[in-house]
Amino acid sequence: MTQWIPRGEDPATREVLVDGVPSYMKPALLEFLKPHFARASSVTDTWYFRRESLMMFDLVARLRPSYVDRLDGTSWPGFFNRLPEEELLDVADWVVHQNNRAVAQSLDRILEAAGSAWTIGKRNRSDGLVRRMPESVQVAVDAAISRSSSGRLLGEAWAAAYGRVPDPEEAYEKAVKAVEEAAAPVVSPKNSLTTLGTIIRDMKAQQDWSIDLPGRATDVAIPLAEALWSGQESRHGGNGYRRPSQGEAETAVILSVTLVQLFSSGSLNRRG
């Protein structure tokens, strides 16, 4: 079912994703958090924080001062209502990580309806908040992750690049490893010490790789692989070491999605 749009509003405006927690989204988000952090008074119609839940969050978030120390008798939802938007998202992310898939889906419905830039994805094999991608990109990513043996590595690369706490170096490293795992059995099945560098070397030596497209420019896989490999400066020790930027890591992951899809789908073949 398509999402309802108010009369007279241009549907194109709904394509712009919203970061943070806008005012129209906050009531629904607080209602989502309520059963996990609040309890009703047995005497009055007042809700109070579950201190044990806050203490568990404080332990893993390691905030100074902690939320428990900052409560100062505040009842629900006053304290959370004053939190910065990024902290509210972190709290929601923790709740999803601690609970089952139904809880994750409940939050995802709120995020989608609000046009949030965040959605539910996999981080470290658990549900958590990740950056929402255009639908066409997400379809390609899901297909590459689900259909290949390197899907786990690709999923970890995606989470490291687009998760709540991005790790560009981890994202780039896992992106390269995902391509290596997808390409090695296709290009160099007898080489047990394959790297992306040796895969590129072997493809150049074989000189007969092409993708399933008409025309002459069908050897695009090698330049894509070379761009991914040469850009990973963090694999060098000594003076050649440099951590990738966030933009570089995101580009590396998108390249790896394309290459993994080409190698695992059979679209990339040797001529003849």
> What is the four-CA torsion angle of 187, 192, 193, 194, rounded to 10 degrees?
20
Query: d(Cα 195, Cα 178) in Å, to the nearest integer?
Result: 11
Angle between helical axes of 26-37 and 101-113 (0-180°, round to 10)? 160
Q: Which CATH class is domain 139-270?
A: mainly alpha
Burial class (CB in 10 A: 0-12, 13-18, 19+), 224: middle
- CATH 1.20.120 in the chain is located at 139-270
Find the helix or strand (DSSP H, E) in which 122 lies.
strand 118-123
> Tell me, what DSSP letter sits at residue 242?
-
Burial class (CB in 10 A: 0-12, 13-18, 19+), 186: middle
Q: Which CA distances in Å does 268 have to 120, 137, 140, 211?
A: 32, 20, 16, 4
Whether 271 contacts 207, CB under 8 Å? no
Each residue's pLDDT tens digit in the chain (272 positions)?
A: 567 778 777 776 666 678 899 999 999 999 999 999 998 877 777 788 888 999 999 999 998 899 998 887 777 888 899 999 999 999 999 999 999 899 999 999 999 899 898 999 877 778 899 888 766 666 777 777 776 678 888 888 888 888 877 899 999 999 999 999 999 998 988 888 899 999 999 999 988 888 877 766 567 889 999 999 988 876 655 556 788 899 999 999 999 988 998 888 888 888 76
> What is the four-CA torsion angle of 74, 78, 84, 90, rounded to 10 degrees?
80
CA 138 to chain CA centroid, Å, is 10
Q: What are phi and psi for residue 16, nearest 5 degrees? A: -85, 115
Structure token digits, residue 59:
């332990």
Which residues touch 90 (CB under 8 Å, ≥6 apart)? 61, 164
Query: d(Cα 115, Cα 9) in Å, to the nearest integer?
Result: 15
Query: d(Cα 228, Cα 197) in Å, to the nearest integer?
Result: 10
3-state secondary structure of 216: coil
